[in-house]
Amino acid sequence: MKATYSTINDQNANFINSASKNLTSMPDFVPNSTTYLLLCGNYLQVVPAWSFQKLKKLRRLDLSNNLLRVIERGAFGGLVNLTYLNLKTNKLTSNSLHTNIFQDLISLQYLAIYDNLFHDRYTFLQAEISKVRSLDTLGIDFRGRDQIDKCFCNLSKLQELQIWGMTGQTYSDNTFHNLKCLEIETLSLDSVISLAPDTFISLTMLKTIRIKIMKRLATYDIISSIFSAFKVFKGKNMTEISITNNPHRNGFLLGHKHFTVLQKICLRKLNLMGDSILGIQFKPFLRYGHEENCLEELNINLMFDNRDSYVFAFCAFEHLKIIRIPHVIVRDSRVRGKRSTENDVSYTFCLPETLEQLDFHTNVKSYNRRRIANLTILNGSNLKVVNLANVTFRDCDGTINGAENLEYFDMSGFNCNVLGVNLLSHFPKLITLIAQDAYLGIGLNALQNASKFLMMNLDLQHIDLVKNNLKYLPDGFFLHPFRHQLSIILDRNNFQSLPNFPSEPNFIKLISLKYNRFSCLSEDEMATLNIINPSSIFLCGNPIECSCNTLRFLKWVHHSGFISDIDEIECVSQNGTLVILSQFLKNLKTFEISCQSKLWITLVSCISAFTILALIFGIVYYRYRFAFEYFFLRMKMKLRHYQPLSEEFIHDAFISYSHKDMTWVKILYEIAFKRFQLCLSKDFKVGKLLRLHVEAINSRRCICITEEA
């Protein structure tokens, strides 16, 4: 069991994480200083008596998602400082609990005990819970035939109630009638199939309602029944209304009957995510905006986006700060699209003056035929966050004006085959740029002055260019005086070498190059990283090579400490197997010695082979030296383009011989004289010096006869 230290409420907390460890019994040893004990996701069946008696400082205990069937008497004894207890999703029944089971938890503020097996004796369970008078948040199971007991009036500090309806629940005023005595501000209802119009009439202090519909059993008019139940809040101030999980079969248009209810409530946050909304009717939505309302945050998950005229009603809202309208499905044949504006070159988009966040992303690419061109945002001076992921414009050759204070921009999924150098130039305060799968590999390669693409975004701190088919980045792409260290994410591209980062100390904080094509880093690349000195580099998913050829790189990885995911990197060893890099580096010294041995063996082998070949050549040359000399002379003649003399010779051959061989030379002369004109010493003139008989040896060839050895 491992203890880690974290911060909770600005205080150091000894956090013991034993979640999902396949435990079947309570751990034997837990430090007495523990303040947060996580035991969820195991196979615990019993909480023995006095299991935590030594943990006087324990404040949070999570036993959820186990198989608990029994909690023995005194199990929570000694936990006087415990403020959080989670027992949800177990096998607890009323027989699992003893009277006064929670009596020692005098500081408990949060208790979750829902999704268990309390099929009967709800009165006993509620009575035991009602004794924990310090509770401010409670999560319990509930059945339609039951009513929350009056004993809950003892929970005078209770502000949030979470109810889990096991098999689908129809709620009415009868459910909550006994809670008039409490000032509950937050109510969460799970597995709702229908609401009666008077459901919330007894909860006069409610400010936040969160409703999760049970898809399988929900009635066809579930949304109508929910909005009818909201009519009791007419004229009240509400913090949040949230409805989620409406089934597709109950898809609806958000229109007049819904906005009529909402416009009579001073509501700050409306959340309708995952409710199968087919669209928003423009006129009712516009009317809702013009009427006095308090709406600051709007979260609506649309099924289709063809009819998007509702966006032109945003200007009518005076207090709206956050708009999140992501789309689930991009097109629907049932809804006709409006006339294409694909040839528009400039257009204007109006937003509320107070808007800070705008989210129009879709889960799949929408293939919008509209160009970015010159887009002007009216009232965008307070806009900080824009998420347009997968709202795919026809091209990125344009610019966006009017959002000069934008700090976060997500353009993932854009079709940037055609890219304009000024696309981001009007976002001088941009901090985070997300551009995944935006075809920037093509766009940047074709863009002239691509080095100026980020020239005006000097406040950038986080750049995400994942999956853009990038093989390299343009020269000077990051060569700008950025004011902060950069975190650069270049995962799932085609880099084989390090991008040309500026060699400046502390220029980059983090570099992620996962799932590219690196086998190693070169000497120059390692030297560059040593200068930049990033805090983290990620390389997992690359075909890293662990061989003698990459020994210098492996030594650099081992000693530099830059690679943060060393335990996740698989490298290819010399025998072709995959090994975890961190395990391989543990034996790096041994591997280095083996590489040096192989180097010496190779060197000695080469020298030996060269020596043997030289020796063999010397012997052959000596044995056939005259043939070699003759061959070299012939080659020399050819290279010098030797031409025979054109003079006429008196003799065909001159014979030089020893007087001892006179006898047989005469015989040779008599035989050869018949065909050739030969010259012997007998042909010399008498009395003339021998060295002066040049004309006597004016012959085509010279035959030298030597004595036999």
Per residue in 160-189, pLDDT (tens digit) is 999 987 666 788 888 889 899 999 999 999
Confidence at 648, pLDDT banded by 50, 70, 90: confident
- pTM (2 decimals)? 0.77
Q: Closest by alpha carbon to 158, among 135, 192, 187?
A: 135
Cβ neighbours for 242, distance < 8 A, ≥ 6 positions apart: 208, 209, 210, 211, 269, 271, 272, 273
Confidence at 116, pLDDT banded by 50, 70, 90: confident
DSSP code at position 399:
E
Q: How would you classify the pairing of strands 2-8 and 11-17? A: antiparallel
More confident of the two residues 46 and 704: 46
Confidence at 465, pLDDT banded by 50, 70, 90: very high
Q: Count the Cβ atoms, other than its own, within 10 Å of residue 520.
A: 22
More confident of the two residues 624 and 582: 582
Confidence at 28, pLDDT banded by 50, 70, 90: confident
pLDDT exceeds 90 at position 10: no
Confidence at 237, pLDDT banded by 50, 70, 90: very high
Q: Closest by alpha carbon to 384, among 443, 418, 343, 430?
A: 430
How far from 149 is each of 142, 153, 203, 240, CA to CA, in Å?
A: 11, 8, 15, 26
Per residue in 505-527, pLDDT (tens digit) is 989 999 999 999 999 999 999 99
Confidence at 368, pLDDT banded by 50, 70, 90: low
Query: Residue 336's pLDDT is what?
Result: 41
Determine the Cα–Cα distance for residues 110 and 107; give it in Å rounded to an integer.
9
Query: Residue 307's pLDDT is what?
Result: 55
Query: Residue 606's pLDDT is what?
Result: 82
CA atoms within 13 A on the CB side of 79: 26
Q: Output the average pLDDT for the chain.
A: 86
Q: Closest by alpha carbon to 252, among 217, 218, 298, 303?
A: 303
Q: Are 437 and 413 in contact (CB under 8 A)?
A: yes
Per residue in 56-85, pLDDT (tens digit) is 999 999 999 999 999 999 999 999 999 999
Give the angle subtended at the CA of 204 by the CAs of 201 and 205, to the nearest 5°. 145
Determine the Cα–Cα distance for residues 673 and 682; give it in Å rounded to an integer.
14
Per residue in 141-161, pLDDT (tens digit) is 876 556 788 899 999 999 999
Q: Closest by alpha carbon to 180, among 162, 158, 197?
A: 158
- Three-state SS for 353? coil
Confidence at 7, pLDDT banded by 50, 70, 90: very low
Confidence at 645, pLDDT banded by 50, 70, 90: low
Determine the Cα–Cα distance for residues 46 and 289; give it in Å rounded to an integer.
56
pLDDT exceeds 80 at position 9: no
102 phi and psi, to 5 degrees?
-105, 15
pLDDT exceeds 80 at position 598: no
Q: Are 120 and 94 in contact (CB under 8 A)?
A: yes
Per residue in 547-556, pLDDT (tens digit) is 988 999 999 9
What is the percent of the chain with per-residue pLDDT over 90, rounded to a whole number?
56
How far from 568 is each of 55, 522, 558, CA to CA, in Å?
A: 36, 21, 15
Per residue in 470-481, pLDDT (tens digit) is 999 999 999 999
pLDDT exceeds 80 at position 5: no
Query: Residue 42's pLDDT is what?
Result: 95
Strand partners, 270: 241, 298
